[in-house]
Amino acid sequence: MMKRLSDVNIETLETYEYQLDINIRKKNRLNGRFYEADWIPIREPPIILMTMNKETAEHKASWYLMLNSHKHILHTFGFVGNNEQLSMLLQERAIHGNLQKLLQDKCFQPSTKVLITIFFQVLDAIIYIGTQGIIVDNLCCSNVLVFRMNSTKSSENLVKLTNFSMARKKDSSYVDNRPTTIPIRYCAPEILNSIDQSNYSEAFDVYSFGVLLWEACSHGKIPYGSNTSDSNVRQRRLDGEELLQPNECNNQIWSIIQCCLYRTPEIRDTMENIQSKFLKIDLE
């Protein structure tokens, strides 16, 4: 059954379905907040532990748990009780890692047809999230996890969207007082130009999705260059600099990207229109 955020009881969210060293074994730290983990006894699927700040844990977890029912969104099993005074969330693990790193390291060099399959899967997740009244606000290739990959066979690829730490409600009356960092390279121009950063809408996610498409078609390149500071990128974007067509980007895909990256939000495509345009791409 699909849940809406209003159905999630934030105050009682952190109940422990699992216990460290009873159901779950914590292993090596992978990076930052993430640890390798095993089921007790060992079984499938592969899992990972995410530690969270106590003050923000329930807010972040609410998005994951609410969006749990979609096949292209990372599955979250629940909280893990422990004696370390940490908020721990148990999630499925993508053994191949994230799309950005795979593309950058040339471990995954998908054909155009396979890329389109990946884009469809991400779009499917975003459209579902939109039906739940949510703006993702953090779309990029590093937040696309790869569970199965095959560079030439579309049917043998599976990706899932993750990281909803910056997600917010679409409701214009909703006030989010959490301190947040704007993803300068991916956010829409209306957010860069907004003093109070209140101009969030579905068109914001459309713009970010366009940058995600550009990133994937650029073999995982960081938008506006990896050696450029965010402050420099912000000024360049305010001055009107736009992303250029990647060298090997299919012209039909580039046309879709351009319709996502319009500076005026009202004339950007909707996610459903983008989906329809991908269906019409002729690779023959």
Band the pLDDT of 103: cuts 50, 70, 90. Answer: very high
Domain edges within the chain: 5-92, 99-279
| Backbone φ and ψ of 109, nearest 5° | -125, 75
How do residues 221-243 score in pLDDT, each as one tens digit?
999 998 999 999 999 999 989 99
Question: How many Å apart are CA 202 and CA 271, to the nearest integer?
Answer: 8
Question: How many Å apart are CA 255 and CA 9, to the nearest integer?
Answer: 43
The total of other beta-carbon atoms located within 10 Å of residue 115's CB is: 20
| Backbone φ and ψ of 104, nearest 5° | -60, -40
How do residues 115-144 score in pLDDT, each as one tens digit?
999 999 999 999 999 999 999 988 999 999
Strands (E), 152-245: 158-161, 168-169
Band the pLDDT of 85: cuts 50, 70, 90. Answer: confident
Residue 88 parent element (H or E): strand 87-92
How do residues 137-176 score in pLDDT, each as one tens digit?
889 999 999 999 999 999 999 999 999 888 888 765 555 5
How do residues 6-33 score in pLDDT, each as one tens digit?
444 444 445 788 999 999 999 999 888 8
Q: Which CATH superfamily is domain 99-279 in?
A: Transferase(Phosphotransferase) domain 1 (1.10.510.10)
**Which residue matches tokens 């994951």?**
64
The class level of CATH for 5-92 reads: alpha beta
Percent of the chain with pLDDT over 70: 89
| pTM, 2 dp | 0.90
Mean pLDDT across the chain, nearest whole number?
88
3-state secondary structure of 175: coil
- Could you please report the per-residue DSSP string of 98-156? BHHHHHHTTS----HHHHHHHHHHHHHHHHHHHHTTEE----SGGGEEEEE--SS-GGG
pLDDT of residue 177: 54
DSSP state of 3: -
